[in-house]
């Protein structure tokens, strides 16, 4: 592991660190593209990954920033922070590190704005806004047949009415924590995506790009684009972005663009890639949906990781209420239709039948006695 690269990643993350527990390595996920073997190891993987949340050093250390800058460069700052956290993980594992690029940041911002326009809440729909992802991906010269790119969470912001740069970074940090260390109920789909897992029959990407944005409903979007997915290079700008300093952000200096005006969500089918500049985290007043409901796709199976195992798991919070585990709000998840759910349904039906029979017998006896 390159100590200089690790030091750089920690600096990107404002000094925040993320250490993998013993046993959390690529061998742990070696059978991820063999469903039967992977299922047999599920309990072991859950136990080992969970150790990461027990490490007290894996805790967000806030930077004292009590405001949210009015700048389009906020998305760049958040992407840089997330890259710093995830690259620490990838350096420990020896997988391809993530790079910030203009195309990736713009891609994440346009996805975020489209969610805002659709008023697409993952808690309500129990799925990604797949139509939006496909539409925006095609504008960036990326495959649009499924969701290869997005990990998204909800319920991780301490405030959606008065967010600060520090609270947004905390939400990103804790989202990543849960996707890495508490993702067993989603068969480790988030985990495999974030660590840069590559299936046995796949070639590792030589580069992978990251963009992060938070939409008006407080949902955190992490978009990862491997270089193999860029089909039209003239539509996806891989050039690096200039990361603003904290002082520049607080001075409302826009490093990425000359425009600092608040931008409303536009129709993703007509908007030009990267045109969604401006303040993107206007959490107190989300725009109303303009697209008809028919534009939204019904819940469907998540995309496959390298065409074999789940790459991006659908994201539904565990119920409409936030659920807190070890003082950390949990990552989002697929709607569960497992054996326990079926068993509970049967038990409820049996209970209802027994109650109904008891009432009927009571009425019969009452009539006989009277």
- What pLDDT, on a 0 to 100 scale, did the predictor assign at position 328? 42
Rounded alpha-carbon distances, angstroms, from residue 205 to 93, 209, 222: 15, 10, 18
- What pLDDT, on a 0 to 100 scale, did the predictor assign at position 354? 61
Mean per-residue pLDDT, 261-270: 32
Question: For the domain 3-336, what is the CATH superfamily, name and number?
Answer: CAP (3.40.33.10)
- What pLDDT, on a 0 to 100 scale, did the predictor assign at position 112? 95
CB atoms within 10 A of CB 366: 9
**Per mean pLDDT, which range of 91-95, 147-151, 185-189, 353-357 is the poorest?**
353-357
Mean per-residue pLDDT, 104-123: 95
Please say if the pLDDT value at position 205 is more than 60.
yes
Q: Residue ranges of the domains in the chain?
A: 3-336, 340-370
Quote the percentage of the chain above a pLDDT of 70: 65
Give the separation between CA 193 and CA 226, rounded to whole angstroms.
Answer: 11
Q: Which helix (H) or strand (E) holds 9?
A: helix 3-12
Buried b (16+ CB within 10 A) or exposed e, 136-156: bbbbbbbbbebbbbbbbbbbb
Mean per-residue pLDDT, 51-55: 96
- What pLDDT, on a 0 to 100 scale, did the predictor assign at position 203? 83
Decide: helix, strand or coil at residue 148. coil
pTM: 0.73
- What pLDDT, on a 0 to 100 scale, did the predictor assign at position 160? 66
- What pLDDT, on a 0 to 100 scale, did the predictor assign at position 62? 80
Residue with tokens 């969970």: 50
């Amino acid at each position: 592991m390159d100590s200089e690269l690790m030091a750089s990643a920690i600096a990107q993350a404002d000094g925040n660190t993320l250490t993998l527990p013993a046993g959390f390595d690529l061998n742990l996920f070696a059978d991820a593209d063999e469903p039967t073997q992977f299922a047999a190891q599920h309990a072991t993987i859950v136990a080992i990954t969970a150790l990461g949340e027990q490490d007290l050093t894996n805790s967000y250390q806030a930077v004292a920033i009590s405001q949210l800058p009015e700048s389009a460069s906020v998305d760049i700052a958040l992407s840089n922070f997330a890259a710093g956290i995830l690259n620490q993980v990838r350096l420990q594992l020896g997988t391809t590190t993530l790079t910030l690029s203009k195309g990736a940041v713009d891609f994440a911002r346009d996805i975020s704005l489209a969610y805002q326009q659709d008023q697409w809440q993952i808690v309500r729909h129990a799925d990604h806004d797949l139509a939006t992802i496909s539409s925006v991906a095609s504008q960036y010269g990326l495959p649009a047949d499924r969701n290869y790119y997005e990990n998204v969470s909800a319920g991780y912001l301490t405030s959606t009415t008065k967010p600060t740069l520090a609270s947004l970074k905390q939400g990103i940090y804790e989202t990543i924590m849960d996707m890495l260390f508490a993702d067993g109920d989603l068969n480790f789909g988030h985990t495999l995506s974030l660590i840069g897992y590559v299936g046995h029959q796949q070639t590792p990407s030589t580069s992978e790009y990251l963009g992060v944005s938070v939409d008006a409903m407080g949902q955190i979007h992490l978009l990862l684009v491997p270089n193999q997915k860029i089909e039209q290079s003239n539509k996806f700008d891989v050039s690096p972005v200039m990361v603003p300093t904290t002082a520049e952000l607080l001075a409302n200096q826009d490093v990425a663009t000359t425009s600092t005006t608040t931008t409303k969500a536009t129709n993703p089918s007509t908007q030009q890639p990267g045109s969604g500049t401006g303040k993107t985290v206007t959490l107190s007043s989300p725009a109303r949906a303009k697209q008809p409901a028919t534009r939204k796709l019904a819940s469907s199976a998540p995309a496959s990781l390298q065409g074999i195992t789940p790459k991006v798991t659908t994201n539904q919070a565990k119920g409409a209420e936030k659920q807190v585990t070890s003082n950390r709000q949990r990552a989002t998840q697929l709607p569960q239709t497992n054996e326990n759910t079926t068993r509970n349904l049967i038990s409820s039906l049996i209970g209802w039948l027994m109650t109904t029979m008891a009432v009927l017998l009571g009425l019969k006896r009452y009539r006989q006695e009277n």
